[in-house]
Amino acid sequence: MSQLQQYNDLTEESMTSSHEEYDDEYSDYTSDEDSEYALSAQEHWEESMKQLTMLFSIVIFPLIGKLLGRRFSKIIWRKVANWWFV
C-alpha cells in the first residue's frame, strides 16, 4: 500500500468517527430538549386562545370602550344641553 493511500484511509476514518461523535452528542442534547418542550397541537391551540383573550381584555376592549364612551357622551350631552339651556 502506498503512503498516499494510507493517509487517505486514516483521514477518512478520523472524519467518520468525529462526525459520528458529533451526531451522538447532538442527538443526546436534542432528545432531552425535544421531550421537555414538546407541546401537542391542543396545547398550542389553548396557549394561542389564552394570548388572544389577554390581548382583547387588555388592549382592544378598553380602546373600543374609550372611543364609544366619548362618542356617546357627546351625543347625550348635546341632547341634555339642548333640553336644559334652550
Q: What is the mean pLDDT of residues 46-70?
A: 95
Mean pLDDT score, 40-62: 94
In which band, very low, low, confident or very high, does the pLDDT at 51 lie, cut at 50, 70 and 90?
very high
Percentages helix, strand, coil for the chain, rounded to the nearest 5? 95, 0, 5
3-state secondary structure of 38: coil
What was the pLDDT predicted at 33? Answer: 56
Residue 41 CA to residue 67 CA, distance in Å, equals 37
- Give the pLDDT band (50/70/90) at residue 72: very high
Angstrom distance (rounded) from CA 2 to CA 21:
29
